[in-house]
Amino acid sequence: MTPMQPPAELKSALPLYEGVAPGSEGAKRKEKWAAVRDDYVARNVTNPTLTPFLPAKDKATGAAVIVAPGGGFMVLSMKIEGIQVAQYLADHGIAAFLLKYRVRPTPESDAEMQADMAKMMSGGGRPPADRPPPTALPLALDDAQTALRLVRKRAAEWSVDPKRVGMIGFSAGAMTTLATALRNNSDARADFIGIIYGPLATVQVPQPAPPLFAAIAADDPLIVTGDFGLIKSWRDAKAAVEFHLYEHGGHGFGMRKQSLTSDLWADEFYAWMKANKLLSAQ
């Protein structure tokens, strides 16, 4: 982990809350950034933000997607699951909003933090199939819902259709994305969701159910991929769902190019949005 300053792409970040974020009044640890391999990670986040990545006016479709990076609720993978995803969407005419949400406090020491991350990522292989699915961090879920409200509130300013505001998440960000759908608050509900290497356990599908796009690699070492209960739940509810199971890709591939079919997930997500008429007003 090489310490760094927040990247230039986030200079236009907007605070989600006025003043201290509710629930973080007693937070003492300072937000830290580091370069890790080909990624940027943020940790000890207590001041959540939303960064707009807006398409050129002649390309804008009116659709919007909030992007929630992963990182086990310990860090946020802000480059390959954040900035690069948001830039891809904006380049394809979709207003993207990168969410820097709150995570658990971690050690001040980078060496201790690196050891904790290595332990989490090794994990001894996949968890047993009968283990209860992991749940979103409550403060992260609050931030996601606040972000949805903010995008709709400022939709006209950003040339966004408030009825076409979706959310896509990766790993822990996928848990957070799914949790917003399952909580199903009428004022903070995504119109469509993307779950990228997130939990696939059976759920009670909300009504109305947002169209769901899901993608995962069969060799993911952290997520159980034998059941696909989430997909069955959506199908049983007669709700729109598309599912991609890649042979290889591992966990955390994001926008990383590995010369594998999992490299294509973003193009397939865009094609899915287009096929479902999410890129044009109804």
Amino acid letter for position 86: A
The answer to whether position 242 is within a domain reads yes
The answer to whether position 55 is within a domain reads yes
For residue 49, give every residue at least 6 positions away whose Cβ sits within 8 Å of its Cβ, in sequence order, or none. 10, 13, 14, 15, 16, 99, 100
Structure confidence at residue 70 (pLDDT): 98
Domain of 105, in residue numbers: 2-275
The answer to whether position 121 is within a domain reads yes
The domain tally of the chain equals 1
Global pTM value: 0.94
Largest CA distance in the chain: 52
Where b means 16+ CB within 10 Å and e means fewer, 122-139 reads eeeeeeeeeeebbebbeb
The answer to whether position 281 is within a domain reads no
The answer to whether position 280 is within a domain reads no
| Beta sheet of 39-43, edge-to-edge order | 2-4, 32-36, 39-43, 75-77
d(CA 12, CA 90): 15
The answer to whether position 282 is within a domain reads no
193-245 pLDDT tens trace: 999 999 999 999 999 999 999 999 999 998 876 789 999 999 999 999 999 99
The answer to whether position 197 is within a domain reads yes
How would DSSP label each residue in 7-18? PGGGTT-EESSS
The answer to whether position 28 is within a domain reads yes
d(CA 121, CA 221): 9
23-75 pLDDT tens trace: 999 998 999 999 999 999 999 999 999 999 999 999 999 999 999 999 999 99
- CATH number of the domain bearing residue 76: 3.40.50.1820
Confidence of residue 125 (pLDDT cuts 50, 70, 90): very low
d(CA 220, CA 254): 13
The pLDDT of 145-150, averaged and rounded, is 98
